[in-house]
Chain A
Amino acid sequence: MDEQFNFKKKYRIILLIAIAASVMVAVTSILISNPGASRVWANVLLNNQFFLGLSLGAAFFMAVHRLGLSGWHTVLQRLPDAMTTFLPLAFILMLLIYFGMHDLFIWSDNNGTDKVIEGKKMWLNIPFFFIRLVIYFIGWIVLTWLMRKNSNAMMTSTDLKFDNRRKLFAGLFLVFYAITVSTSSWDWIMSLDARWYSTVFGWYVLIGMFVTSLAFIILLIWLLKRLGYLKYIRTDHIHDMAILLFSFSIFWTYLWFSQYELIWYGHLPEETSYYIERVHYFKAIFFINLGINFLVPFFGLITFKSKRKMGWVAIIAAIVFAGHWLDYWLMIMPAAAGEKAGIGVLEICMTIIYASLFIFIVLRSLSKGPIIVKNDPYLEESLTYES
């Protein structure tokens, strides 16, 4: 019961070496191939958004389960909780894009010649952009911190008030998140194509975040089980994670198609510009994205037995994880870097830097207490859970 993750020096050194090596390779590749400022900044934005999405998706997972009085997830609750500790760093990294505003967002230095962008000036201007950014992050950081704090308080205390409090904060988080995930995705992704708009975009990003986090939680379970931890997470819990991954991948496809179909059918120039940009220049990636985020989890996890094999579920989760990185790539890169966008050494190194940082923070946070919160009122239900 008191099993605690030991974040050994060996793991830290591996992660730090990965970061250092990737930084060096990335810098060299920038110096050699000179990809242009907008591509470098687009990389920063892409990974900010992707790993921020992992944290927020994990917080969404926790909030939904706590508000729904779910019992099954209690043995694994500290993994998503640990994932939300990345948010403060994500805040700092997101503030960095202040220096790349003009390379990323065409609306940021519009001098009044573009009438469409001029009309959106009330929302799209630099001061308000950063005011919103600060509000989003403060809300997310404070609410996830309160949820996590009250949950972890039950490691030592048996007071039920902590459970009630974390439910309250889960509810507040969901309301705040539902609004801010839409507006933040307009700010950081949709406004890259400043003339374009899509009303379903916020949902699409939200579900993308959630699926990515599910995939990452599965990968984390797999990794920690390989290292000999988490013996209380049984096949039944894996099964439920796989069901969630399966069904929300289908839901992601539903939203992908909702957006595509209406724009394709309506055929209005201000809407189709988004897809023309992507289907024309990045046709292969465009269809690979749909294929690996829908067909792989759909056929890979459709049978009962496939959802109960840890190794197999982890393989599918890894593919979906990479697939959603590609999905963000498609949303951000073609708009920010234009035809020069590509997937090269720079993209891979930047992702490794962010991923190592993320894993480092998650594992460090996880190592601070026992993996099982032993006074959680739902623990018994979770330990004996049968799916």
Chain B
Amino acid sequence: MLDLSPAEWTAVLLSLRIALVATAFALPFGIAIGWLLARKEFWGKTLLDGLVYLPLVLPPVVTGYLLLISFGKKGPIGAFLADHFGIVFSFRWTGAALSCGIMGFPLMVRPIRLALEAIDRRLEEAAGTLGAGRFLVFLTITLPLALPGIIAGAVLCFARALGEFGATITFVSNIPGETQTISAAIYTLMQIPGGDAAAGRLVLFAIILALAALVVSEWFARRAGMRVQGN
């Protein structure tokens, strides 16, 4: 049943790589934006808040289209990055990682923000009187105490990235070995007569991956939670 063909393995490994890269790159931004939203009052905060959550409420195709016209080869940002840094997104797996990261971002920011809001600020004050500057306080007190929320956010983003379909296929198409993720591969197989068996295998694999991610994240979150509560 789980005898995946080389082409199917490619799709599975590609999905994992895209989701991992998307989560890893989104995480520093997720922590920064979560911190801004939790701790700072500034002009345009409501706008930023809305912007972060936009991918959650927009049709994914719209997000994919917006990515295409801004990060595509002829898009202003895409052209700039390609000319100056040699970074190309369009029709590459990096583009898939970008769209997956953006789609997962709102799910990542929310738990991080909530965790940061829940921290007892008086502990940070105490750390300050003990000689820790603001950055050290953040590193040694804020970040460890927010760790359960950060893990939850990363896992949600990873799961979203693993299953992303609409924005990715709109932005970087469906190229086997480059941008064809599990979801895209299943979609393709379903268009082909007799592709059902292969699609079924991939579906089963997708379920296994999702369950494994859940178990691993639950384990991490429990460990981090115990640490924070001091057990």
Does A pair with B? Answer: no
Residues of chain A touching chain B, judged by Cβ–Cβ distance below 8 Å, are none
